[in-house]
Amino acid sequence: MIQVLWFLFLISFFFIYPYFGQRTQLAFVLRYIEKRLAVLKQLRDEVRERTLNTIKKYIDGGDTSPIEKELDNLLEFFYIPPESMDPSGIVYKLEHILEIGDSRFEESVAKMAPKADIHRVKSLSNLVEVARALNLIYRVVRHYYLLGKRMANYFLALQIQIQLPMIMELAESYRQASYAFLKGIPIGDGVGVLSAAKFVKESKPISETEIAKDTWLNVVEFEGRRVYVVRPIGPGGTVGRPGEAVRKLVYEMDTKPDLIITIDAALKLEGEETGKIAEGVGVAIGGPGIDKFKIETLAKEKEVPLYAIVIYQSIIEAITPMRESIVKSADSVVSRVKELIKSKVPSNGTAIVAGIGNTVGVGL
């Protein structure tokens, strides 16, 4: 009898388990994804509602259905990157496409919220971008879930299950980011801008002007050196055009810098302290790379040393309201910038300092 049972167990193990085992695993994985997909849907809907309610505060009254329709259009908005088979000039093509996208967003938001001022329109555009990002995350996860279910393919479902803990963390941080843009609270990414602004406040002002779209230039004197400080214009949420500003300074305004310093938030590694400051060489600018490319190109041509100061934080801390430790690090960054200028720029010399990041909640 035992022998028969043992034989049946072996048969089932070798012939039935490989098929049903994977089916069972697939059911567990799909259940896991399904639960998180439900949360993602709630996050998406919550941020959409929050965006819509905020926009409604800035209308003159009347029918709100066209606003909902326009918002839903923006949530499905996409960018097609330029063709890269012939990469020559691709940076400027990408810049052109992104500029069109930014203008489209801002124009639509300004039209939907006619009572909002220019800074509010920029923060609202950021809010719509956050809602769009959450909508995209939800759609992609749903795609893999339904594909895995329809094809009964364990590995398709597994791919998204492996990444889901990170995706959920990112989605939750987008939710918190929406709160920051809604209330106009500075986010962690703005620490570079905050540091540059603090440096300006502690130096002797000479002049100031808008040098590029959404980008402010302060010319200040620091210990006998002329320093050009470039940063996005706040308190609305924008990153400005630091690359274009530095290009104009060097090529159109004929500035001959002895040093270019960029200050930006950088991603910390797991286990590292938030707000830690590090110094290095190169251009500290994230994003699609257009501003970084422009500064690197002119620095190579004019043989200008490039220094970078970064403030470490996690991706979540970068897009959610600024933490106390990050705010405190801005003062240390200003000291590091001053030391760098004193040691690398001769008296009567010139330096460019660029504060990089989103300037929501940080004024001029």
As measured in angstroms, the least distance from the Cβ of 179 to another protein is: 6
- Phi–psi pair at 228, nearest 5 degrees: -100, 115
Told to check if 362 binds another protein by CB under 8 A, we report yes
Indicate whether 179 belongs to the interface with another protein (CB under 8 A): yes
State the Cα–Cα distance between residues 172 and 178, nearest whole angstrom. Answer: 10
Select from 21, 34, 99, 251 the one that contacts another protein (CB under 8 A): 34
Stretch that binds another protein, among 78-86, 140-148, 262-270, 350-358 (CB under 8 A): 140-148
Contact stretch for another protein (CB under 8 A) within 96-104, 177-185, 243-251, 346-354: 177-185
Return the structure tokens found at 127. Answer: 């809010």
16, 39, 166, 206: which one contacts another protein (CB under 8 A)?
39
Question: Residues 50, 182: contact at Cβ < 8 Å?
Answer: yes
Residue that has been written with the tokens 């041509």 in this structure: 301
- Residue type, position 49, single letter: E
The answer to whether 43 contacts another protein (rule: CB under 8 A) is yes
Query: Residue 310 or residue 360: which is nearer to another protein going by CB?
Result: 360
Work out whether strand 350-355 and strand 259-267 pair parallel, antiparallel, or are unpaired: parallel
Residue 226 structure tokens: 């002329």
Residues 308-337 that bind another protein (CB under 8 A): 320-327
DSSP codes of every residue in 70-134? HHHHHHT----PPP-SS-TTHHHHHHHHHHHHHHHHHHHHHHH-TTS-HHHHHHHHHHHHHHHHH
User: Which of 16, 20, 35, 96 touches another protein by CB under 8 A?
Assistant: 35
Q: How many CB atoms lie within 10 A of CB 35?
A: 11
Closer CB to another protein, residue 10 or residue 364? Answer: 364
Closer by beta carbon to another protein, 91 or else 164: 164
Q: Does 171 bind another protein (CB under 8 A)?
A: no
Q: Does 32 bind another protein (CB under 8 A)?
A: no
- 146, 167, 170, 278: which one binds another protein (CB under 8 A): 146
Minimum CB distance to another protein smaller for 313 or for 350? 313
User: For residues 136, 140, 146 and 151, what is the CA-based torsion angle, rounded to 10 degrees?
Assistant: 150
Token output for 350: 């010139």
- Shortest spacing between CB 95 and another protein, in angstroms: 29
**Residues of this chain, 264-303, that bind another protein according to CB under 8 A:** 274
175 lies in the site for another protein, by CB under 8 A: yes
Query: CA-CA distances (angstroms) from residue 215 to 28, 230, 249, 299, 332?
Result: 51, 7, 12, 20, 24
| Binding site residues, another protein, CB under 8 A | 34-35, 37-39, 41-43, 46, 142, 145-146, 175-176, 179, 183-186, 194, 197, 201, 234-235, 274, 320-327, 361-364
